[in-house]
Amino acid sequence: METSYLQSFMLVVETGSMAEAARRLHITAAAVAQQMRILEKEFKTPLLARAGRTVVPTPAGHRLTQSAPTLLHELANAHTLVNDDGTRGELVIGTINTALHSLLPDILADFVKQCPEVKVFLQSATTNQLYEAVQQGDIDAAVCLYPAFPLAKTFDWTQLREEPLILLAPKHLAHLAPHELLRTQPLIRYDRNLGGGQMVDRYLRTAHITPKERFELSSLVAIAMMVDRGLGVALVPDTALNLPDGQSVVRLPLPDFTQSRRFGVMWLRSSARLALIHKVVESARAVLKQRANVSARQVAPSG
């Protein structure tokens, strides 16, 4: 079976039109119709039917739309397995929003230089959702936090960073002690449904601080922007995010011990795309090393 015909079938079902599918595929409508006839001949049953001006799947076509994505994914896996160096094909990466807005673009830039022929798909979700997606084979690897539970033995994990809690504050308040700021300034709270938000909650309780809460949200990028606008202070994990302008917001260390969250890459040991996943990990390490070198130069005393 020509997998391109199966992809054409899925596009016809999505658009409801052979002409529109042909336009997107840059071929003629007659060519798409011929592909559909060949598929129906191979499956020995009608797959599409006319419904007014649109084309809809038959009951058999509906069943094919449910199985086709898995079939195409497995065929892509097979392509990767038989490839000599494993540096071609497709890779599906899951990511948490924090990584998407910080390290991941640089990681992907380095990865693309190493593997220019790989097509990468990105999916954003929470760490727990990404764990399930990796386990089910829906994604190949996840750039995320270590889950709140031990990973199953079928998983592999590479840690990239440890992220303790810090206080984000407007620069003009940087001379004040962090706990004083937490007690006197409005708090822009990190979502308590997330692991990082739960770390914040535990720290505040241990330090016996009852903050003046103003907002609660899940985006660290938005939280940093709100601190930048003078809306309050925020207790957040020390991520690789670039702060607004790099000048108006400061990161203040906390006086008490703070739990760190672990940030890295997880995947299945049995993945058909191990070679590509290892390339992603190599790119991540290269990006972190480069950032560490830049930071070291910035803090080094001038001659």
Alpha carbon separation from 155 to 23, 70, 106, 291 (Å, rounded): 42, 21, 25, 28
173-187, 234-248, 289-303: range with highest mean pLDDT = 173-187
Q: At 94, give phi and psi (nearest 5°).
A: -95, 150
Average pLDDT over residues 115-143: 93
Q: Say what the pLDDT of residue 205 is.
A: 94
CATH 1.10.10.10 domain span(s) along the chain: 3-68
3-state helix, strand, coil in the chain (%, to 5): 50, 25, 30
Q: Say what the pLDDT of residue 81 is.
A: 58
Computed over every residue of the chain, the mean pLDDT equals 88
Q: Does domain 89-161+262-299 have CATH number 3.40.50.720?
A: no
SS3 88: coil
pLDDT at residue 84 greater than cutoff 60: no
Q: Say what the pLDDT of residue 173 is.
A: 94
Radius of gyration of the chain from Cα atoms?
25
CATH class given for the domain over 163-261: alpha beta
Least confident of 75-79, 152-156, 214-218, 289-293: 75-79
Torsion of CA 195, 201, 202, 208, to 10 degrees: 170
Q: Say what the pLDDT of residue 50 is.
A: 87
Q: Which residue has the higher pLDDT, 216 or 81?
A: 216
Average pLDDT over residues 110-118: 92
Q: Which fold has domain 3-68?
A: Arc Repressor Mutant, subunit A (1.10.10)
CA distance 121 to 81: 19
CATH 3.40.190.10 domain span(s) along the chain: 89-161+262-299, 163-261
Q: Say what the pLDDT of residue 77 is.
A: 63
